[in-house]
Chain A
Amino acid sequence: MIKIALTGNPNSGRTTIFNKITGLRRPVGNYPGVTVRKEEAAFVVDGVRIKIIDLPGTYALTPYSEEELVVRSFILEEKPDVVVDVLDASNLERSLYLATQLMELDVPLVLALNMSDEAKARGIEFDLGMLSKLISTPIVPTVALRGEGMKQLISQALESASKSKERGPVTVNYGRDIEDALESLVQLIQQEQGDFTGRYNSRWLAAKLLENDRDIIGKLGNEKILAAAEEAARHLETLLGDRPEIIMAERRYGFISGACQEAVRTTVETRHNLSDRVDDLVMNDALGIPILLLVMYAIFYLTFTLGEGPQRAIEFLFNRLSVFVSSFWAAGAVNPLKSLLVEGIIGGVGGVVVFLPNILFLFFGIALLEDTGYTARAAFIMDRLMHKIGLHGKSFIPLLVGFGCSVPAIIATRTLENRRDRLLTMFIIPLISCGGRFPIYALIIPAFFSKTWQAPVLWMIYVIGIVLAVITALILNKTALKGKSDPFVMELPPYRIPTARSVLFHMWQPGWQYLRKAGTVIFGASIILWALAAFPHKKEFEQNYSGQRLQAAAAFNSGLDSLGPRLGLSAAGSETLSAQLAERRNHPGSRPPADKNGSAQQTALISEFLSVVDGLEKQTRARASGTSIAAQAQDADLYSAASYYLEKVKHPYQERLAHINRLKQREQLSYSIAGKIGRALETVVRPLGFDWKISTALLGGLAAKELVVAQLGIIYAVEEGEQGEHTLREKIREDYSPLVAVCVLLFLLIGTPCMATLAVVRKESESWGWALLQWGWLTAMAYLVALVVYQVGNFFGLGLG
């Protein structure tokens, strides 16, 4: 097994190379800091088993940032057989700086000169043979995006791995004074710490000691060596006029510049390229922030409008599916399995899957911003504002990722060197509305707001989250996290045209994760939530529902009996009509054969009446769906009798039955476990305008925000039972005022971060206290905001209709 480690500067195309070589699709993006964890893959080339590890992008191997430590300790401890360092051809000198540090680590090294096409287009020419000789390291030119040079890179890596013993370490000459100090330290280390030198190159150890590397100093723990190193460093500082680590860095750059002067020629001098001209516009003082807001607004607008059509289609498919599954049982049958399938699983999973199109479009937009390089500009634009809350522009990138999902966003805070910055950024990330909360907005906003208001309301929700994040940061800045932010230094990548593959991948990957979540977590949770809502079965109901049903049926029948005289039918004819209508009630759509015993005239009258009834019903349905059918009743008497039947007899009966059913279901639901928990919580959330159904749905949100939608779907499907022709949106519109809807949106935006967020904050902050403080804080804030909005709105009578 050959272990290959991939290193390189951020944004140098390391991950693209990893993807091309392994065929895996890891997220890549045009902004620094995409790979925050190391990723690995194994495969076989020419019978050799190869394991390749993609390490985080770094500029150097100092111990001052987490990523650099990760890379360094991986190379030192795991001892890969060869390191492939990816160079950005357009930024060769800076790329080579990392390479010089890798050389000192004394690992077999291969350099991949990536994006050489882009550099050539900018008028840079390389003499790779010369460069390779000057730095005594093999170089392979690659264009990772098009997969060029991958084969050569692998075979060069394998060759270097097998020849690792033949090659001495390549070193930068630091000048006589430093070299002397290094040499005496090396001797001392070899005398004192023989076992240590077996694992680490002693010249490298000596250099790190001179550089005052706290990680190595901590590991070495030999007073004699440390004292000698300190003494040497002090001596060098007085001698050279600056701290040794700075001088050594300068010498490394000197070594690189020398090599580049020989081997690289720049033919065209492009001072202000197109990238700069675009930057002049989007990073303009006055226009920068409006453009950023506009870009975000455009993404949300597209998410809603483009997502609508496919969303309807998916909704329709799930409806058909539940009708199909229901058809295995007799109409009206009460069966736990049917209820589980239709109400629990199809209702729960369907309610979540419906929002897949919106999720895809949202991530498509974010992917475009990332891949073009706009995200880094956004960090620049936001720097001044971020300073006001005690952070700097770099924190904006994790926050932006937070629009997709809080979990990768919290992991992305690793790019911040300062622990205080990290904790603060982590704390406010859940206030940035993530994709998981999106289905809730997509469900509720169109239910209560007209089309013109939907996008602005959605936009407002996001803005409110941002404003609260600012307030939270300000408070923390003054209390728990006093102190100064690290100075802001960030690379600005050139604009690149995103490749379709990358954008589609960024769109598809979260979409797929979302579907998988729907298929696993939400599937399981749907079953549990359904069971909570369906059990325990209530046997003794407070009211006699079957008695009420019989009463309603009796009223219906007496209504039927009054029809005969209206139409001038005989007693026998009247009986036949009642029987036929009753039959049609029990089995809608059935056409009982005409009574042979009745007179031909009476039979004709009855069938004519029935066809007028059918025509009228069809007309009502058509009117409801927007198309109009011309009235076709020729006979005024027949027409009035038919409409009397529909309006005074049939519809009241149906409504009465539905009402009785609803009451019964509601009683059952509030008797169930979910209902009991919801009711227990109701007293707490009552001041926010929430009833026990909303608080039951909020329970689902503790596990994952998407589950709120699933939970509502289940509660309402259970409540409506069989008659559920209405969509969920219509049902909640009937039950709540717009004010309550806004309060629900606010509560879910701000409060109860999901379990995955809680877990990742604990892991990244290494503190349960911090994670729980965050959870409690956000939930308390959610409660407070919803309380104020509801009470004030109620007082002024806003949004109650």
Chain B
Amino acid sequence: MRSRLVSMGLLQGTTLEVVKNSGRGPVIVSIRGSRLVLGRGMAHKIIVDSIEP
């Protein structure tokens, strides 16, 4: 699974922006100019640090 995320451009150190997170259901993030839908279970496993926009 990890290699799948990597091939879609989501790897350690990537800056991402959470576009939509309603508290339930999948999350939409923006990375490298494209929008990715991540299942909630998946999104939980991604550890982020916030950076100022």
Chain A residues close to B by CB (< 8 Å)? 59-60, 62, 64-65, 90-94, 97-98, 124, 242, 245-246, 249-250, 253, 271, 276, 279-280, 283, 285, 376, 379-380, 383-384, 387, 392-393, 417, 486-494
Q: Of residues A59, A91, A124, A489, which shows the largest number of chain B Cβ atoms within 10 Å of its Cβ?
A: A489
**B50 on the A face (CB < 8 A):** no
CA A636 to CA B31, docked complex, whole Å: 91
Chain B residues in 8 Å Cβ range of A279? 19-20, 28
Complex A-B: 15 CB contacts under 8 Å: A59-B7, A64-B4, A91-B32, A92-B33, A94-B9, A94-B32, A98-B7, A124-B33, A250-B12, A285-B24, A285-B25, A393-B39, A417-B4, A489-B38, A494-B35
Contact assessment for A249 and B34 in the assembled complex, using a CB-CB cutoff below 8 Å: no
Residue from the set B1, B3, B20, B42 with the largest chain A CB neighbour count within 10 Å: B3
Nearest neighbor of B7 in chain A, beta-carbon distance: A60
Bound Cα distance from A249 to B17, whole angstroms? 21
- B39–A487 touching, CB < 8 Å: yes
Among A65, A91, A250, the residue within 8 A (CB) of B34 is A91
Does A492 contact B35, Cβ atoms closer than 8 Å?
A: yes
Q: A491, B37: Cβ atoms under 8 Å?
A: yes
A489 touches B36 (CB 8 A): yes
Asked if B19 contacts A392 (CB within 8 A), the reply is no
Assess the A488–B11 pair: CB atoms within 8 A. no
The 7 A-B residue pairs with the shortest CB-CB distance, nearest first, are A488-B39, A60-B7, A492-B35, A487-B42, A384-B25, A249-B6, A59-B7
B8 at the A interface (CB under 8 A): yes
B25 contacts A249, CB within 8 Å?
A: no
Across the interface, do A489 and B39 meet the contact criterion of CB distance under 8 Å? Answer: yes
Q: Give the Cβ gap from A352 to chain B, nearest Cβ, in Å.
A: 40
- Classify the secondary structure of B's interface with A: mixed
> Would A91 and B39 be within 8 Å (CB), given that A59-B7, A60-B3 are in contact?
no
CA distance in complex: A376, B34 (Å): 14
Q: A97-B7, A249-B6 are in contact. Are A489 and B24 (CB under 8 A)?
A: no
Q: Is the CB of B37 within 8 A of A489?
A: yes
Q: In the complex the two chains form, what is the Cα distance from A487 to B39 in whole Å?
A: 6
Task: Indicate if the CB atoms of A90 and B25 lie closer than 8 Å.
Answer: no
B32 vs chain A, min Cβ distance (A): 5
Question: Are B37 and A393 interface neighbours, CB within 8 A?
Answer: yes
Q: Specify which chain B residues have a CB less than 8 angstroms from the CB of A285 in the assembled complex.
A: 22, 24-25
Q: Given the complex, which residues of A lie within 8 Å of B33, measured CB to CB?
A: 90-93, 124
Which of these, A60, A62, A283, A488, contacts B42 with CB under 8 Å? A488
B residues in contact with A393, CB < 8 Å: 26, 37, 39
Select from chain B the residue with minimum beta-carbon distance to A492: B35
- Minimum C-beta distance from B42 to chain A (A): 4
Nearest B residue to A58 by beta-carbon distance? B7
Cβ contact of A64, chosen from B3, B8, B9, cutoff 8 A: B3
Contact of B36 among A60, A98, A242, A490 (CB under 8 A): A490
Chain B residues in 8 Å Cβ range of A92: 33
B42 and chain A: residue at smallest CB distance: A487
Rounded to whole angstroms, the CA-CA distance of A65 and B6 in the bound complex is: 14
In the complex, residue of chain B having the shortest beta-carbon distance to the beta carbon of A91:
B34
Are B8's CB and A59's CB within 8 A? yes
Nearest Cβ on chain A to B7's Cβ, whole angstroms: 3
Asked if B48 lies at the interface with its beta carbon under 8 angstroms from chain A, I say: no
Q: How far is the CB of B41 from chain A (nearest CB, A)?
A: 6
Known: A60-B7, A488-B26, A488-B39. 16 other contacts (CB 8 A): A59-B4, A64-B3, A97-B7, A246-B3, A249-B3, A249-B6, A249-B7, A271-B17, A379-B37, A380-B25, A383-B26, A392-B39, A491-B8, A491-B37, A492-B36, A494-B35
Question: For the complex, what is the distance from the CA of A379 to the CA of B35, rounded to whole Å?
Answer: 14
Is A62's CB under 8 angstroms from B3's CB? yes
Interface centre among B5, B35, B38, by most chain A C-beta atoms within 10 angstroms, is: B35
